[in-house]
Amino acid sequence: MLGLKGPLKALVSEKFASAYNSKSLVFSDTRLTILRTSSEISIQLRYCPALAKKPIKSSDHDERLPKEKAFDPFDQPSADLLVAAIPASRPSHNLVLNKYPVIRDHFILATKENKPQTALLEEDDLALTYECLRSWKENDEQHQNSSLYAFFNSGEHSGASQIHRHLQFLPVEAMKAGNEEEWDVLCASMTCPTHSSFPLLKNPRLPFLHFATHLNHLMTAQDIHQRYQMLLRAGLASIHNLPLDSLESVTISQNGKATFSYNLALTTNIMAIMPRRSESSSIPDVLDSSVAINGTILAGTMMVKAEDEWDRLREKPELVNRIFHDIGFPSNQHVINNKESL
């Protein structure tokens, strides 16, 4: 489906090495530790002071600005960062390296046409995303059990940094960085069925509202898109305490935009959503603290730019639950089955 000239993993890795050597991208190493929350959830905390110097990009709520005033890194991307235009037969999307990665081989799937980040994802967005996930895993020539984590940020509270529609990919092995026994992708733990009529899953130990659903390689693009819309409807219904039995009547888009902010995560096995009510949280007793969170949260990863925040969270890992509370909706207010309302 992608029509690539070689295995996706090899193409991304080779392009990353070339772009790094030519200084076309700025790769910043992070200091990494694993935090254990009070509910025994493992969260990666990364300290990356270089992110404080990253140029401020146009965000979702800047869509009302004239397009000529907003820098668009996905409009005719640099050849040094462009991995491929896909599908090869009739390209609708570009695979592009992240110019400011903190995890090696971080790459992006962006629409060639400047479609809005706040609009719902379309079938081809999700189909190509899943094909990238599948291709990375199946074409692993070194048999290292490689896998990708994909995420999408939509809405002003989601941590989105560009208005041009794009999904992002992170190699799970690069994220683990030798911590295989201590940490795994968070959305993979969302395995508890939550409804007798809908294929919805959750992790009861997580304190924020979320939903997940299984994916597999036999699903069509339409199947995946329908699951995506189901997750959106379940998330929005739960925010407004509506019964899940009325999912089909929930309005998830209006005037071309999603009706709420959310993060979406995908692996080859699962797709998950986290509705958002704030982009950032502050750490108590840390001056001018502001920890911005995007879709990496569904992988169980968060990043800080200030050393005071890094130190404080390592001293008091229970503060992670405060961050969850600030950026998401509480999960304990939603009891879900086919009889009870949310």
> pLDDT tens digit string along 112-137?
999 999 999 999 999 999 999 999 98
Separation between Cα atoms, residue 151 and residue 154, nearest integer Å: 10
Instruction: Please say if the pLDDT value at position 109 is more than 90.
Output: yes
* CB neighbours of residue 110 within 10 Å: 25
- β-bridge pairing 201-202 and 42-47: unpaired
The rounded distance, in Å, linking the Cα atoms of 127 and 240 is 30
- Write the pLDDT tens digit of every residue in 250-299: 899 999 899 999 999 999 999 999 999 999 999 999 999 999 999 999 99
Q: Is the pLDDT of residue 183 over 90?
A: yes
Phi, psi of 149 (to 5 degrees): -115, 125
Residue pLDDT, tens place only, 157-172:
999 989 999 999 999 9
Structure confidence by residue, pLDDT tens digits, 21-40: 999 999 998 999 999 988 88
What CATH homologous superfamily does 8-327 map to? ATP adenylyltransferase (3.30.428.70)
What's residue 60's pLDDT? 42
Q: Residue 46: name the closest of 261, 303, 281, 290 by CA.
A: 303
pLDDT tens-digit map of 61-89: 444 444 445 689 999 999 999 999 999 99
pLDDT at 38: 82
- Residue 333 has what pLDDT? 45
